[in-house]
A and B are shown apart, each in its own frame.
Chain A
Amino acid sequence: MVEFLQFTLSGLSFGMIYAAIALSLVLIWRGTRLLNFAQGGMAMFTTYIALEVIRQTGSYWAGFVVALAAGVVLGAAAELVVVRPALGKPELNAVIITIGLLILLEGLAGIFYGGQYRSFPAAFSVIGLRAGSTPLGVSRFDVFVALAVLAATLLLAVGFRYTSAGLRMRAAAFNATVARLSGIRVARVITVGWALAGLLGALAGVLVTPSTFLYPNSMDSIFVFGFTAAVIGGLDSPLGAVVGGLLLGLALSYAGGYLGSQGSDLTALVALGILVVVLMLRPDGIFAGARVRRV
């Protein structure tokens, strides 16, 4: 029972990271109808920037804030400079461009910072919390991770629901042509979406790296699971991204915990199993709307 609680809590904590990546992918998908393969690479790069700032200033929070700001800039710049020119061309071109961006960022990180593994500081203690004498399997920092992603998600949800900027974003995602006709600058809205996605990715990078080390490929597997979470939830649904992330975090945590060393080797296979089952039942994810098909 204690074990189960431990696995659940640590699963939720990692699930929140996947949820953050999934949410950033959903933000971009809704605006641009594009999978951003550079999302993990961008998060890796902003985490390097955070590490540099922390080294220079000695302040964790300075690094944290700079990373988020860098995420916003990188997200918007990626959309404006390399993605926008490719829209309207064959669909896969933009995908390959984001893959090119990912490889470029990994190469640049290697050039500037070298390939070796670096440790990244955590905001709070990473020593496991205890209730009485039973270890809970999560640390103060894990709680911070979950709360930070939750706060970001809620802020986004409130922003989308209650602000006029949020309304514009929803309108642009719902029907770009009609939105444009009613005076919304759809192009600008899309750039803002990319910036927000960059921010979420940067947040995920700073939060996950204390438990993974930092190196040019460090976000690859996090990206794969974040992408999986987004697909499970349905790429059009922000709620689906969060649910998908938590579901995947829990499943992988149980698999790693209960199946022993073989289980941790096979986490990706477990994730594949879940994905296949979900997609067999709902080919467009759990929270997919009715499918519209043009004939």
Chain B
Amino acid sequence: MTRTTPRILAAALATAVLIVVLSIKLNSFRDYQIAQIAVEVTAVAGLTVLTGLSGQISLGNGAFMAIGAYVTALLMLHLNWPFYLVLVAAAAITAVAGAVVGVAAARLHGPYLAGATLLLGVALPSVAYAYQGFFGGDQGLDVNFTTPGFLGVNFPLTRWEAWVCSAVALVVLVLLANLGRSRVGRNWRAVRDDEVAAALAGVNVARARILAFVVSAACAGAAGALLAIVTGLVAPEAFTITLSIALLTAAVIGGLGTLPGAVWGSLVIVLVPTYATDVATSHGLSSSVASNIPVAAYGAVLILVMLLFPQGIQGAVRWLLGLFGLTQISPAPTWRDAATPAVTPEPNEKEGAQ
């Protein structure tokens, strides 16, 4: 752990510099996309830890994002808290919600957990419709986020948002990378691979599973807070099941259980639809066709990536690096595969954040 931490910090710092340079070079729409990608990375990283490391599927992390976003909107609207405090509060409150869900989920497995979390993702945003007075119903709540004074009046808001979101995403990635390598992360992997063996080895299985939900929810809550400032509006429309499904999709497409995979997956789900829209509109297609080609293309990309790269994009990257002798090829452990031995000590140690 002590040997790898400087490497992680160096990578995060380099990425931060790259993002700052990019955000200054690129136009404000690209800045907005950087912010969007950072929001996704924050949420997907939390989910990939939950599903990939602790072995619990969640189709409801969109609901946690909704909690984070509404907490943000309400705190900024009524109490005028500064954003950094709001962010911490949003993550903390969502973590509590994650603990509640985690306790309920601790006994559930596979599709039953998927069903329960999916319904959570559908049900929670509907609360906003039922209590319109407090949550603003359909219209949602406005979030007023501005650039800080020291940057001057001409500093573009989108660039500042890209910085804030990327900073949070990087901090979350560094924290999760360290957590994955710590005793907590080893316990998660032990529980994922074989609950009985883990329990016999002295791991508190229920506690490990619930903690994974708490961490994952806190990340989603922070992502929700970021989403609130990026879109400037918190409305239930933003938190449909499509969002929850997109998060899981990004985690698996990128390479489940790996943090670089969370970044690849987020890039795919943000950039593929935008890129396909650009191509479709530049060919002068009718609007109903042009607006749906990205959807169809996105679906096709998901299918193809899964068929061509079973270990996700990160799996393909590792394989490529292996070809050039840059890293040793280790067969990435399959998710809850009955054939893998209960404890795979060596490769797992490196898996967290290569």
By a beta-carbon cutoff of 8 Å, the part of chain A in contact with chain B is: 29, 35, 37, 82, 85-86, 89-97, 99-111, 114-115, 216, 220-221, 224, 227-228, 230-231, 235, 262, 265-269, 271-272, 275-276, 279-280, 283-285, 293-295
Contact = CB atoms under 8 A, between A and B. Distances in A.
Nearest to B342: A295
A279 B118 CA distance: 14
Query: Interface range on chain B: under 10, 10 to 19, 20 to 34, or 35 or more?
Result: 35 or more
Contact of B249 (A99, A110, A220, A293): A99
A220 B240 CA distance: 11
Task: Please indicate which of the listed interface residues B104, B112, B120, B336 has the most CB atoms of chain A within 10 Å of its own CB.
Answer: B112
A85 B307 contact: yes
A272 to B, nearest CB: 4
Contacts of B124: 269
A110 B288 contact: yes
Interface in B335-354: 335-338
Interface string B85-112: 0000000000000000000100111011
A231 B111 contact: yes
Given A283-B108, A284-B112, A91 B299 contact: no
A151 B127 CA distance: 38
A97 B116 contact: no
Nearest to B200: A295
B303 A107 contact: no
B311 A90 contact: yes
Contact of B310 (A89, A99, A100, A111): A89
Nearest to A294: B338
B144 interface: no
Given A97-B306, A107-B294, A115-B292, 14 more contacts: A89-B306, A92-B252, A92-B335, A96-B302, A97-B302, A99-B245, A108-B292, A110-B288, A110-B291, A221-B122, A224-B118, A269-B124, A279-B112, A283-B109
A35 B334 CA distance: 19
A214 B298 CA distance: 22
A227 B118 contact: yes
Nearest to A273: B123
A280 B129 CA distance: 28
B62 to A, nearest CB: 13
B256 interface: yes
Contacts of B194: 295
B299 A102 contact: yes
B150 to A, nearest CB: 44
Contacts of B307: 82, 85-86, 97
A269 B299 contact: no
Contacts of A114: 288
A220 B241 CA distance: 9
Given A279-B108, A283-B108, A266 B126 contact: yes
A103 B291 contact: no
Contact of B296 (A86, A111, A272): A111
A111 B289 contact: yes
Contact of B111 (A35, A97, A99): A35
28 contacts: A82-B303, A86-B306, A90-B310, A93-B252, A95-B252, A96-B252, A97-B302, A100-B299, A100-B303, A103-B296, A103-B302, A104-B300, A105-B299, A108-B292, A111-B288, A115-B291, A220-B241, A227-B115, A230-B115, A265-B129, A266-B123, A268-B123, A268-B126, A283-B109, A285-B112, A294-B338, A295-B196, A295-B197
Q: Chain A interface mostly helix, strand, loop or mixed?
A: helix
Given A96-B249, A228-B115, A276 B104 contact: yes
A254 to B, nearest CB: 17
B323 interface: no
B166 interface: no
Contacts of A82: 303, 307
Interface string B282-297: 0000001101111111
Interface in B187-221: 194, 196-197
A148 to B, nearest CB: 26
A287 to B, nearest CB: 13
A79 to B, nearest CB: 13
A275 B57 CA distance: 17
A5 B161 CA distance: 55
A101 B304 CA distance: 10
B302 A100 contact: yes
Contacts of B301: 100
A107 B116 contact: no
Nearest to B290: A111
B306 A100 contact: yes
B293 A111 contact: yes
B114 interface: yes
Contacts of B114: 35
Contact of A228 (B109, B119, B248): B119
B293 to A, nearest CB: 6
Contacts of B303: 82, 97, 100-101, 104
A295 B194 CA distance: 8
A103 B295 contact: yes
B297 A107 contact: yes
A224 B174 CA distance: 36
Interface in B262-300: 288-289, 291-300
B13 interface: no
